[in-house]
Amino acid sequence: MKAKIKNSNIYAALGICGLAVAAAAVISFSADSKPTVEDPGFSRFTVRWSDSFEEETSPETHAVDIGVTGIPDERETEAQTEKKTESFALPMGNDIIKDYSGGEMVFSKTMGDWRVHDGVDFGGAAGNTVDAVADGRITRIYDDIFWGTVVEIDHGNSMTVRYCGLKKGTTLPEGALVKKSEKIGTLGSIPIESAEGGHLHLEVTVDGITVDPLEALNKVRTEE
């Protein structure tokens, strides 16, 4: 009887020891089995382990006051405006006897009908000097049955000016380079506008399109 009980106690002790060893093995496996990035068993995942958790946030941004480039500033100072205005001269005084009609019909005393007036007429008398409105080159000179002797000058920036009503034989030659306010000829007559009195008919085109001559020359109209 004693031997049997003694053996049972031995078996019980052995069982307790076995449980202790098993528990230690489980604890050891749990501690050693923490996965890392290098662990081949986790190669399919991006794993990051950390003892503390830190919330990731986007970097703080602030508005930065920087200058904008590549956009033209359409504002002009008074000095710039005056300089721009002074870049052109008038061809013959400042007496305008007939203005640009801007596409509207106006009455023609000579023809007795209504028609557009594509230029500005500067009053004068035969023999008056006609000047270039700016630096340029004379590209064409021809005689027209309606407009008399016509001088065309390329003044750059796609602007061409037609000086109509000059006296034949008084003009500079075709191809001549001219300076602003330089004499290009003297005033003659304009058959199609003879009833309006002596004057120079001035037309301006930019990129081949007829425009208001005074606006193109940066001149301001004033009322007397």
The mean pLDDT of 201-208, rounded to a whole number, is 97
Q: Which two tokens stand for residue 66?
A: 């920087």
pTM of the model: 0.63
Long-range contacts of 52-59, Cβ-Cβ distance < 8 Å, separation of 24 or more:
none
Give pLDDT tens digits for 119-154.
Answer: 999 999 999 999 999 999 999 999 999 999 999 999
DSSP codes, 14-33: HHHHHHHHHHHHHHHHHHH-
Query: Quick one: pLDDT band at residue 101, thresholds 50, 70, 90?
Result: very high
3-state DSSP assignment of residue 161: strand
